[in-house]
Each structure stands twice: as C-alpha cells, then as structure tokens.
C-alpha cells in the first residue's frame, strides 16, 4: 500500500481540488514529509490483548456528490455508507475486510498489523453504526505482536473456513511477501499456523495486496492472490492460484494504470477485484471488475467486466478493502472500506455498501 492524499479528504473550509492542485504545484515538497509522518504508527503500541473501543459513525446519504437522488452506478446500487472514527490512535489504516455471511459482523486488518472485530448495526437495510468493537494485534508464530514494517504490513484478508467467531483467516502481507493462516477462536485472532509464499521477487511496497478463496469454478477452494503492481512491462498484473500448495501464475490486464487493492469471491466463483489509482493532478479513483469463474485458471490473461468506476466526484477515499455477503432478501451485498493512512487531517475511513445487480446479459 502506498500513501496518498485523496481528493475526497476535506479539511475545514478548504476545497479538495484546490488542495490537490496546490500540493502538486508545489512539487509535493511539503506534502510528502507530512504524509510519511502521518502514516507512521508504532506497532509496538498495539495491545497484545484485544481492547474494546467506541467507534463513531456519521452517515453518507448519497454516493455521488452532485446527484443525491441517483442510486445506481454501473452494475451496483448504493445502499448506504458511513464515515468511521475513534479516539484510539491505533484506529485506521484498514486495508482488508471480511463480512459475516449475513453482514452482521466485520473483521478488518490494518497495515500496522492490527485487527478490528465489530458488529454492524442496520436500519431499514442501511448500515448505521458499529458496536461491540474490539481492536487487537496480529501475532507472529511465536505468539508475539508482529514488529517492524517488514513483518507487519498486512494488506488483505479472507475467511478460509468456519466463521468470524471460530474459523481460519487468510491474511496477506507486503514487504515480507506471504499469506498466513490465522485461527480465530472465540472472536480473537491467534498466532498463524503456516504460510503460503509467492514464487517471485517483488517491490517491498507493491507485493501481495489482495487475497481470496475461490468459491466456485475449476479451482473451487483454491487460494488466489494478486500483487498491488507487479507487471514487469507486460501490460498485465500478476497473481497466483495456489494448487496443491504451489503457486501458479494468473494475469489481469492493467487498464489505465490502476493498482490492485483487494479481491473477493462471489458464491458462483466469479472474482471481484478492487482497484485504485492516484495522481496528484487528478485525485483518487476506484474501480471494481468482475472476472468469470470458468476463466480463472493458471496462465490465463484476463480483462473482466468493469462493474463501476468512480472518481473524486463521489464519496470515495483510498479504497482498499472489499467483502461480500448476503442481504436480508438474498441479494449480494458488497462492502468497501478505506485506508486513511492514519492521516486524519486529509483522509477518512469510509464504510460503503452496494447491492450487486444481476450479471449483464449478452448485448446489454
């Protein structure tokens, strides 16, 4: 994950576009040191045992700023969203997300090796808050909190088996590129039991960003992961499917210079991929693509279907986490969360939910 100042961040009485334009025009000389300081939170301050925290939630009534009555965006329909905050200095940096099958609970992981467990409160199908929140530390195999950027840069999470109360998580890391199996017992994340490893040398800060468990298709039950940006000039992002414990490459077309930030499998095995692009002159953008289950095989070069793309005219930030669950009427619900880089002056933690509309018909 790379630090950004997204166009969606608004200090009081300061227009977002003027902010970004001013930073870009100044050559970022002042902004970059400020960002580096803002995103540095000492992981040693994370508690070894989980602590309860209170989370404040402010509603986001509409997704597109200039069109409050519009609900449909591409293949998605906006359900509701929240701006989340907490007094704890350890709250933020959320880079990966899992939702309980019915959406009643979430687990998020941060890039300082923290985890957050909370119940999601709804009203008339819209998220209105989080309660019973607990914040804890990801542990090493020795049972100690992870230390140093090389160990603790957690970026993606998926549920391998069981539930968020008692199950197993897959958590991907950058710098020391790996995917760990972390047991969850009685709602607490315990030390990992083993790791999966990619077979490539990647940039420290652009490694395995997305991880998912394929729920259908030719390789149902396999783990799939994608690097944030590992193209080697090919025009395709690199990912891996672990088959028989061995990583096999798969490729996703690089469209428009977006980076991959997360992925989540649908029940039929189709894969959703969340992407982000940031440029000082244009602000932040996000995109969601859908890959067809039957095409997700080793060696494939995929492009997928774009479900939605959004820019700073929408309520987005540095969108890094993606999860899927079933709504009360059986509908497929997508949840996104943003990484604020612990930069609360310029960024926000957003929690957004959308209904995934039926797949496009031929010729539509």
138: domain CATH number?
A: 2.115.10
Round to whole Å and give the CA distance between 320 and 7: 15
Assess if residue 362 is contained within a domain: no
- Please state, in angstroms and rounded to a whole number, the distance separating the CA atoms of residues 100 and 103: 5
Task: Determine the Cα–Cα distance for residues 210 and 208; give it in Å rounded to an integer.
Answer: 6
What order of strands is seen across the sheet that includes strand 305-310? Answer: 259-265, 271-279, 283-291, 305-310
Q: Does residue 201 have a pLDDT over 90? A: no
Beta bridge partners of 288: 274, 308
Confidence tier at 134 by pLDDT (50, 70, 90): very high
Q: Answer yes or no: is 183 within a domain.
A: yes
Please, which pLDDT band fits residue 8 given cuts at 50, 70 and 90? Answer: very low
pLDDT at 299: 97
Q: Examine residue 257 and state whether it is found in any structural domain, yes or no.
A: yes
- Helix/strand/coil for 145: strand
Number of separate domains in the chain: 1
pLDDT reading at 106 higher than 90: yes
Question: Does 6 map to a domain?
Answer: no
Would residue 327 count as lying in a domain? yes
Torsion 11-15-21-25 (CA) sign: negative
In a domain, 206, yes or no: yes
Indicate whether 198 belongs to any domain: yes
- Checking if the pLDDT of 318 tops 90, the result is yes
Distance CA 138, CA 121 (A): 25
Question: Which residues, including other chains, have CB under 8 Å from residue 292's CB and lie 6 or more apart?
Answer: 270, 304
Range of the domain at 286: 16-356
pLDDT tens per residue across span 211-257: 999 999 999 999 999 999 888 889 999 999 999 989 999 999 999 99
Report residue 16 as tokens.
Answer: 């977002």
* 2 within a domain of the structure (yes/no): no
């Amino acid at each position: 994950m790379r630090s950004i100042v997204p166009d969606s961040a608004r200090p009081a009485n300061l227009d977002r576009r003027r902010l970004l334009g001013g930073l870009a025009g100044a050559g970022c000389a002042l902004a970059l040191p400020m960002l580096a300081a803002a995103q540095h939170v000492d992981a040693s301050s994370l508690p070894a045992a989980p602590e309860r925290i209170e989370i404040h939630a402010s509603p986001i009534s509409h997704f597109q700023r200039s069109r409050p009555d519009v609900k449909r965006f591409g293949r998605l329909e906006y359900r509701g969203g929240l701006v989340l905050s907490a007094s704890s200095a350890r709250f933020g940096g959320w880079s990966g997300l899992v939702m309980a099958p019915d959406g009643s609970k979430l687990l998020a992981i941060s890039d300082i090796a923290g985890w957050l467990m909370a119940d999601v409160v709804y009203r008339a199908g819209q998220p209105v808050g989080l309660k019973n929140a607990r914040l804890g530390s990801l542990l090493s195999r020795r049972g100690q909190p992870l230390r140093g950027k090389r160990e603790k840069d957690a970026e993606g999470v998926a549920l391998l088996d069981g539930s968020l109360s008692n199950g197993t998580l897959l958590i991907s890391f950058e710098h020391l590129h790996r995917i760990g199996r972390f047991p969850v017992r009685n709602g607490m994340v315990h030390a990992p039991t083993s790791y999966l490893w990619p077979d490539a040398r990647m940039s420290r800060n652009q490694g395995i960003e997305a991880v998912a468990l394929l729920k259908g298709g030719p390789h149902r039950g396999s783990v799939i992961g994608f690097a944030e940006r590992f193209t080697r000039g090919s025009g395709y992002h690199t990912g891996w499917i672990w088959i028989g414990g061995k990583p096999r490459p798969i490729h996703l077309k690089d469209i428009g210079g977006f980076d991959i930030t997360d992925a989540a499998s649908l029940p039929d095995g189709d894969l959703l991929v969340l992407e982000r692009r940031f440029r000082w002159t244009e602000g932040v953008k996000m995109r969601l693509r859908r890959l067809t289950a039957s095409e997700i095989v080793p060696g494939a070069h995929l492009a997928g279907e774009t479900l939605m793309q959004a820019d700073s005219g929408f309520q987005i930030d540095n969108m890094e986490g993606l999860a899927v669950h079933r709504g009360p009427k059986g509908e497929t619900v997508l949840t996104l969360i943003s990484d604020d880089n612990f930069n609360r002056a310029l960024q926000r933690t957003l929690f957004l939910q959308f209904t995934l509309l039926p797949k496009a018909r031929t010729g539509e």
